[in-house]
């Protein structure tokens, strides 16, 4: 069994240190094998230009202050922490997720499906969907709007992911319910960690985030859910092996019954 959890908070735009402090406070005394933070938890979400965002971004190799702090916190919690973060690469910025252990960043995923004005700020992700081993489980990463593309969760599940860690800054309705279907059709666990609150830019653009972070089972059961607003941590004990049984009936295996030759 693994203790997994969602850690919901409202990142402060442009204040990496404040966000590290908020996460540190939230995780005081918490022990868990896998924790998931929201999307862009270092930087906040709304920026007018890549130049505005760049000072609050950092490399994906763990050499910056945010991932280094999470690595220290992973040592305290005794497990892995998955976070969304603004990643600075040689040729531009990515909206990325990192899986961080006490040893540093284990895996970086760059968001495949950019949402709305993210297309101004970020390069389209180029990592693709992979799974990796952690504490006897296989973990896969996707970010927020990736939920609208069933290929994201499907590709992760086909790559062996038993638990999908899904840092988010959700603004559209339906993700929390749509993820039930993503779990049912792939028989995987999913931890969607959302933020809450509102961000407003000087030009009047404003987004309100929907909170309600959740942990779902391969049977689509909601094992835990945070409120629509407010800091929250919800921890659940899960058996990742439950995601290995793809049977819906005695004669229907969701993966064995696929007909890829007819999908082209
Ligand atoms: C989103 O992808 N942050 C809506």
- For residue range 159-173, what is the model confidence (pLDDT) as tens digits? 999 999 999 999 999
Provide the angle, in degrees to the nearest 10, between the axes of the packed helices 150-158 and 175-186.
30
CB 145 near ligand 1, within 6 Å: yes
Q: What ligand 1 atom has the least distance to the C-alpha of 172?
A: 4
Residue given tokens 């999470």 in the structure block: 70
**Cα distances (angstroms) measured from residue 225 to each of 14, 61, 200:** 28, 32, 26
Beta bridge partners of 180: none
Q: Which residues are catalytic?
A: 39, 111, 144
pLDDT at site 104: 83
**Mean pLDDT for the chain overall:** 97
Provide the angle, in degrees to the nearest 10, between the axes of the packed helices 65-77 and 16-26.
0
Q: What ligand 1 atom has the least distance to the C-alpha of 170?
A: 4
Residue 105 has pLDDT above 80, yes or no: no
Report all structural domains of the chain as residue ranges with CATH numbers, in order of start.
Answer: 2-262 (3.60.110.10)
What's the CA gap between 181 and 35, in Å, rounded?
22
Q: What ligand 1 atom has the least distance to the C-alpha of 169?
A: 3
Residue 184 has pLDDT above 90, yes or no: yes
Protein residue closest via CA to atom 2 of ligand 1: 145
Greatest CA separation for the chain: 58
pLDDT at site 21: 98
CB 169 near ligand 1, within 6 Å: yes
Beta strand segments in the chain, E: 2-8, 34-36, 80-89, 92-101, 104-110, 131-134, 137-141, 163-167, 189-193, 196-200, 206-210, 214-216, 222-225, 232-238, 247-249, 252-253
């Amino acid at each position: 069994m693994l203790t997994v959890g969602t850690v919901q908070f409202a990142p402060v735009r442009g204040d990496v240190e404040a966000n590290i402090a908020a996460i540190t406070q939230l995780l005081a005394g918490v022990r868990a094998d896998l924790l998931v933070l929201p999307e862009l938890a270092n930087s906040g979400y709304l920026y007018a230009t890549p130049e505005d965002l760049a000072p609050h971004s950092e490399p994906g190799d763990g050499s910056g202050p945010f991932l280094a702090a999470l690595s220290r916190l992973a040592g305290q919690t005794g497990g892995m922490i998955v976070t969304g973060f603004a990643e600075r690469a040689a040729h531009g910025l990515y909206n990325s997720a990192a899986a961080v252990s006490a040893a540093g960043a284990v895996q970086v995923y760059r968001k495949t499906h950019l949402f709305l004005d993210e297309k101004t700020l970020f390069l389209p992700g180029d990592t693709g969907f992979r799974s990796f081993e952690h504490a006897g489980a296989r973990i896969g990463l996707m970010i927020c709007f990736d939920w609208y593309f069933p290929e994201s969760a499907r590709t992760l599940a086909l790559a062996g992911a038993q638990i999908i860690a899904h840092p988010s800054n959700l603004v559209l309705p339906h993700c929390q319910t749509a993820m039930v279907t993503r779990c049912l059709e792939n028989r995987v666990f999913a931890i969607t960690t959302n933020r809450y609150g509102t961000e407003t830019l000087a030009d009047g653009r404003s987004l309100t985030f929907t909170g309600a972070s959740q942990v779902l089972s391969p049977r689509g059961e909601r094992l835990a859910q945070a409120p629509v607003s407010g800091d929250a941590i919800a921890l659940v004990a899960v058996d990742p092996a439950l995601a290995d049984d793809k049977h819906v009936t005695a004669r229907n295996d969701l993966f064995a019954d696929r007909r890829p030759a007819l999908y082209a």
